[in-house]
């Protein structure tokens, strides 16, 4: 028999705080957090390593089709493996993020990751974040949230993050990058970034992390999740 699972889909633009929120919600509810962006990033890393240009649809699709992307969990944290190598640390750069945004427009790349994403959600209760979770990957998810924030707020958060890591950065450039990434993610033909009709919009521009976490849990509860002292029953 299929296990009884509850699925929370959380979509939204780059830098809206999806992963921070999803990780916290997962911990609070005892759910598995699935970061689908990391899978696209692993594909992007592969293309960068092979020197494939993002415009080369055939080469990208071929490389993606042959790549083995797998997910494992170490101490509850998602690790992404590319052909058996743990690349979780190497995918967190702006270069990889931009490449991921470019190559995720190709249907072959998306098709290759869809099965993996759905199989993870079939096994256990998940909160899955991405761009097309509520619209395409898990259209029947019990709860859907579209988390956004203004480009200025997202750019400022990213700027502070990079500064803390001691990386050189420029606020205007980061904001421009975010706007361009939004445009690419929203305007592609294959599974564009879009709020699902039954998703609840949460604008976190002027909300703290705890408030957004509470808002997401409220959505899940309003869609039938039973919680007892923060733990899913």
Judged by the rule CB under 6 A, the positions of this chain that interact with ligand DC are: 14, 36-37, 40-41, 97, 100-101, 104, 130-132, 181, 185
Q: Would you say 15 or 31 has its CB closer to ligand DC?
A: 15
Nearest-approach distance from CB 96 to ligand DC, in angstroms: 8
Residue 85: beta bridge partners? 82
Closer residue to ligand DC (CB): 36 or 78: 36
Smallest distance from ligand DC to CB 73, Å? 18
CB 16 → ligand DC: shortest distance, Å?
9
Indicate the residue among 88 and 101 with the shorter CB distance to ligand DC: 101
User: Which residues in 31-63 are b (16+ Cβ under 10 Å) and which e?
Assistant: bbbbbbbbbbbbbbbbbbeeebebeeeeebbeb
By beta-carbon proximity to ligand DC, the closer residue of 61 and 232 is: 61
Where are any strands of DSSP class E within the chain?
7-11, 32-35, 69-74, 77-82, 85-86, 126-130, 143-148, 200-203, 227-228, 231-232
Q: Quick check: helix, strand or coil at residue 218?
A: helix
Strand partners, 129: 10, 35
Nearest Cα neighbor of 190 from 102, 78, 66 is 102
The least CB distance from residue 30 to ligand DC, in Å, is 23
Burial code of 172-181, b = ≥16 C-beta within 10 A, e = fewer? eebbebbeeb
**CB 130 within 8 Å of CB 22:** no
Nearer to ligand DC, 131 or 144 (CB): 131
Minimum CB–partner distance for residue 104 and ligand DC (Å): 3
Q: Whose Cβ is closer to ligand DC: residue 137's or residue 219's?
A: 137
For the CB of residue 123, give the shortest distance to ligand DC in the complex, in Å. 18
């Amino acid at each position: 028999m299929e296990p009884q699972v509850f699925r929370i889909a959380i979509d939204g633009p780059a830098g809206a705080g999806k992963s921070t929120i999803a990780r916290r919600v997962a911990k609070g509810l005892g759910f598995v957090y699935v970061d689908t962006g990391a899978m696209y990033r692993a594909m992007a890393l592969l293309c960068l390593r092979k020197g494939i240009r993002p415009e080369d649809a055939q080469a990208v699709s071929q490389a993606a089709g042959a790549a083995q992307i797998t997910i494992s969990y170490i101490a509850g944290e998602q690790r992404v493996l590319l052909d058996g190598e743990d690349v979780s640390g190497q995918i967190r750069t702006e270069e990889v993020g931009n490449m991921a945004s470019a190559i995720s427009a190709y249907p072959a790349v998306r098709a290759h990751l869809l099965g993996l994403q759905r199989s993870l959600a079939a096994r256990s209760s998940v909160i899955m974040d991405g761009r097309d979770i509520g619209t395409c990957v898990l259209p029947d998810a019990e709860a859907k949230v579209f988390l956004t924030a203004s480009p200025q707020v997202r750019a400022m958060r990213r700027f502070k993050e990079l500064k803390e890591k001691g990386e050189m950065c420029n606020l205007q450039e980061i904001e421009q990058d975010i706007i361009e990434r939004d445009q690419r993610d929203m305007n592609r033909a294959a599974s564009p970034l879009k709020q699902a009709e039954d998703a609840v919009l949460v604008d976190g521009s002027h909300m703290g992390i705890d408030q957004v976490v509470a808002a997401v849990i409220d959505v899940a509860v309003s869609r039938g999740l039973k919680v007892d002292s923060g733990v899913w029953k």
